[in-house]
Structure 1
Amino acid sequence: MVSQQINDVPGQSPRRTAANAIPEDVILDAATALMTKVGIRRTTMADIARAADVSRATLYRRFPNVEAIAAQVTTREFERVVATAPLADGPTGRESLVATVVHVVRAARAHPLLQRIIDLDPEFLMPNLLHRSGRTSRGQLAVIVGFLTAGQATGEIRDGDPERLATTVLQMAWSFALTGPVFVEAPETLDSELSDLLERYLRP
């Protein structure tokens, strides 16, 4: 009761905002800006807390470490890229799937955060590429499976286990996004090649 009265005295500093009252996007926005500038490995929890204007204790109550924040950031950026894909009425078939995958790959190649990760912290990508699927990869597979299922229902996509087909499509996409630019001088030419490859693979 006494502490409550003290905190209610006009002119006194208000109580610190509870950790769960801080919008997650505030933290993720701060982390994205830092990681895009200096990379994941050079970003610390103290840096993120300072940039987000929260205490380190508050940050640790929400995330265990920088890697967990980085995973959340990359997942959110992927979802934002997918949201800008040129879709009319959602996943409807082969044409929509191909257009979406090509769009996402093009956007990924140009995304400043992904480019910074490739330049400074490629080891962050290695576990998801070589040893296990992370949250972002699982989200990507789920989106692709949705397109494949819709396309198979209309006869626009060949028969086959949607999850198996989705895995192959995602492998193509990652290859064109990450290693494609290494082999060509004009990365934009990769778009037509990926589109043709996916069309041939998915056509009944």
Structure 2
Amino acid sequence: MDRSRHSDDKILDAAQTALMDLGLRNTTLAEVARRAGVSRMTLYRRYPDIDALLTEVLGRQLMRVVRRNAGLKEVTGADRTARDLLVTGTVEVVRAFHGDLLMHKVLDSDAEFLLPYLTREFGGLQHYALDLMSVRLEQGHEDGSIRSGSVALQARTVLLTAQSFVISARAAGPVPMDRLLEELTQMLDAYLRPTPRPTG
């Protein structure tokens, strides 16, 4: 790892620990600089404001969650169809987001910080997830476990559905997360399942 990358990671790590300790709105560039052992001018040259820095911190963590839980090494076979792997992998990523301490901190301290992820054009994280889903969808079209259709449209529909369960699940009130994820599993499986051909 080069020194620049090491320095970037040190800054992001410091920002993440500050966010966890202080919350979003109490984390400042000066505090991050102090924890990272760099000058404030170093941060100001790289980030226009604290929101830009914390957005990068959050994006890095979300990418880690997806990579750890997307079932990238799972292969299709007689006992695992592409639909099963896509639905299971998507639900596990949603479950992992709800178990992630950084996500909890953001949702508790300032959920509005996540609005850009919902309202602006897809960013790097969403495009990475779309690429993963597209591979599974293509496999599902080939093995017959996923109904025919546009891979791009199906991938975006699955992503938007999963994203809503990540961001808005707390609005469901006292419904246990496991129950919500069971419903998400049923929803995605029904959406992707091929329509039975009429008999007779």
Per the normalisation by structure 1, the TM-score is 0.79
Q: Tell me, in whole angstroms, the C-alpha distance in 1 between the residues paired with 2:72 and 2:160.
A: 25
- Residue 101 of structure 1 deviates from its aligned partner by 0.9
Question: Which whole-Å deviations, capped at 9, do the CAs of 1:115-159 have from their partners, x for residues lacking one?
Answer: 222222222111221343333333333332232233323332222
Question: Which whole-Å deviations, capped at 9, do the CAs of 1:65-86 have from their partners, x for residues lacking one?
Answer: 3222222222221222123227
AA partner of residue 7 (structure 2): P
Runs of 5+ unmatched residues, structure 1? 1-17
Query: Where does 1:39-188 land on structure 2 (aligned, <5 Å)?
Result: 39-85=23-69, 87=71, 89-90=73-74, 92=76, 93-183=82-172, 184-188=174-178
Question: Which whole-Å deviations, capped at 9, do the CAs of 1:46-100 have from their partners, x for residues lacking one?
Answer: 1111111111222233333322222222222122212322737357522221111
- Residue 112 of structure 1 deviates from its aligned partner by 1.7
AA partner of residue 197 (structure 1): M
AA partner of residue 41 (structure 2): A
Q: Which residue of 1 aligns with 2:190?
A: 200
Runs of 5+ unmatched residues, structure 2? 77-81, 195-200
Please say if residues 39 and 117 of structure 1, whose CA atoms lie closer than 8 Å, have aligned partners that are also in contact. yes
Please say if residues 94 and 157 of structure 1, whose CA atoms lie closer than 8 Å, have aligned partners that are also in contact. yes
AA partner of residue 199 (structure 1): D
Q: Tell me, in whole angstroms, the C-alpha distance in 1 between the residues paired with 2:50 and 2:68.
A: 27
Q: Tell me, in whole angstroms, the C-alpha distance in 2 between the residues paired with 1:131 and 1:21.
A: 28
Q: Which residue of 1 aligns with 2:4?
A: 20
Deviation larger for 147-156 or 39-48: 147-156
Q: Which residue of 2 aligns with 1:30?
A: 14
- Residue 20 of structure 1 deviates from its aligned partner by 2.6
How has the CA–CA distance of structure 1 residues 156 and 21 changed in structure 2, closer, same or farther, with 3 Å as cutoff? closer
Q: Tell me, in whole angstroms, the C-alpha distance in 2 between the residues paired with 1:129 and 1:71.
A: 13
Q: 2:144 aligns to what SS in structure 1?
A: coil
AA partner of residue 20 (structure 2): T
Please say if residues 94 and 156 of structure 1, whose CA atoms lie closer than 8 Å, have aligned partners that are also in contact. yes
- Residue 169 of structure 1 deviates from its aligned partner by 0.8
How has the CA–CA distance of structure 1 residues 138 and 36 changed in structure 2, closer, same or farther, with 3 Å as cutoff? farther
RMSD of Structure 2 on Structure 1 (CA): 2.4
Highest Rg: 1 or 2?
1
Please say if residues 94 and 166 of structure 2, whose CA atoms lie closer than 8 Å, have aligned partners that are also in contact. yes
Please say if residues 70 and 93 of structure 2, whose CA atoms lie closer than 8 Å, have aligned partners that are also in contact. no
Per the normalisation by structure 2, the TM-score is 0.80
Q: Tell me, in whole angstroms, the C-alpha distance in 1 between the residues paired with 2:63 and 2:5.
A: 23
